[in-house]
Amino acid sequence: MATRCSSPQDNKTIYKLFDIMVRYTLYQDNRKNSTTRGMWYGRAKMTGETGLNTLAQRIQRNCTVKRSDVMAVLTELVEVMQDELQAGHKVKLEGFGSFKIGLNTKGAESAKLFTVSKNVTGLHVLFQPEVKKSADGTRVKTFLSGVQVAEYESYDKPEEEDPEP
């Protein structure tokens, strides 16, 4: 049986249910020895969390595949990706991005003195969203195309203060 999934253009009502905007809060660099002490920055503010079950339900609404089948595939995807990453492979999901394992290390005096037990301090997963070129030739990362940014409305906005010298 063929699987059919609607495109975002076919299913605009779902997108109207969500506030398609990245929100931010302001914070000031107050670190004593910072060269940017006193400068103000924006920090992305998450307004919710979406889990695997919710994603599966939304995919079911857009496709001819049942939620239980979507859950099975996504659950297995996580397990297979773990196997591939731990085998030293980069995992590329076309239209999504690439994952690979990175190392946290501390320096050694020489290459001969570098050992896993002494110098590898941790592991982490790196994600690089897929990049496409727009009609004007600019590179656009998947997930960031068309995003808008606005200040988060429900927080105690900090008052501007002069940092202590």
Q: Indicate whether this model's pTM tops 0.85.
A: no
3-state secondary structure the chain: CCCCECCCCCCHHHHHCCCCCEEEEEEECCCCCCCCCCCEEEEEECCCCCCHHHHHHHHHHHECCCHHHHHHHHHHHHHHHHHHHHCCCCEEECCCEEEEEEEEECCCCCCCCCCHHHHEEEEEEEEEECEEECCCCCEEECCCCCCCEEECCCCCCCCCCCCCC
Condensed to tens digits (0 to 9), the pLDDT of residues 120-140 reads 999 999 999 999 888 898 898
Condensed to tens digits (0 to 9), the pLDDT of residues 22-52 reads 999 999 999 999 999 999 999 999 988 999 9
Q: Which domains does the chain have, with CATH numbers?
A: 12-151 (4.10.520.10)
